[in-house]
């Protein structure tokens, strides 16, 4: 049975798919399905592969991140995509820098796209939000170094909505932070906190 909540989220995702607020952005990448969930993952922005695949975290960073969830929570990629809503700071691929690497979305683009995130937090009222990478984490809290915040749980607020926040480092191969100490141990601690969170009960199979 399709619930009113599901219909609301479906309408939101349809509108998001058609968004063209930013002049230098193209083709929003949205969560594979409109997944009603109490857990929300917030990524940074898609890369070149995601618009082609039509889903977030579709390439190597995704493989690494889904590997963390499989190893620590027993949730594989298919289960994750079916049970956790995937949002992002910016839903469109920002393009490449002249010097190589993906362009970081500018403040106007982040502000434009934050309306979508705000709406998702209003519709879903998640109990747990997992921001992935510095740009995503900074939408909810200020910090200097990942070492200070990874492995910890916070109560965060975004435009009047409160929820638990457990940040993760970006799984991109560009940063070795999560593969060397203390990052490796802090990542394991963060994953244990996520897996043990009550909101994950509806996500985990084991």
Residues in contact with ligand SF4 by the rule CB under 6 A: 19-22, 25, 28, 90-92, 109, 112-113
Distance, C-alpha 146 to centroid of its chain = 17
* Residue 127 CB neighbour total at 10 angstroms: 16
Helix axes 183-196, 60-73, angle to 10 degrees: 60
Residue 182 preceded by cis peptide, ω within 30: yes
The CB-of-11 to ligand SF4 minimum distance in angstroms stands at 16
The CB-of-135 to ligand SF4 minimum distance in angstroms stands at 13
| 24 versus 185: smaller Cβ distance to ligand SF4 | 24
The CB-of-90 to ligand SF4 minimum distance in angstroms stands at 4
The CB-of-178 to ligand SF4 minimum distance in angstroms stands at 26
């Amino acid at each position: 049975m399709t619930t009113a909540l599901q219909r609301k989220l479906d309408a939101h995702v349809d509108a998001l798919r058609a968004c063209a607020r930013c002049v230098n952005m193209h083709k929003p990448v949205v969560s594979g399905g409109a997944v009603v969930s109490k857990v929300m993952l917030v990524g940074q922005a898609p890369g070149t592969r995601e618009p082609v695949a039509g889903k977030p975290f579709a390439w190597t960073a995704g493989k690494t991140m889904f590997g963390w969830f499989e190893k620590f929570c027993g949730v594989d990629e298919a289960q994750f995509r079916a049970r956790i809503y995937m949002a992002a700071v910016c839903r469109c691929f920002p393009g490449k820098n002249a010097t190589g690497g993906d362009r970081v979305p500018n403040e106007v683009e982040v502000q434009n796209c934050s309306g979508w995130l705000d709406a998702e937090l209003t519709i879903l009222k998640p109990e747990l939000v997992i921001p992935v990478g510095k740009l995503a984490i900074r939408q909810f809290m200020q910090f200097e170094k990942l070492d200070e915040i990874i492995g910890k749980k916070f109560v965060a607020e975004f435009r009047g909505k409160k929820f638990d926040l457990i940040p993760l480092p970006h799984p991109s191969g560009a940063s070795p932070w999560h593969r060397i100490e203390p990052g490796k141990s802090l990542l394991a601690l963060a994953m244990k906190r996520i897996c043990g969170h009550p909101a994950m009960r509806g996500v985990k199979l084991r």
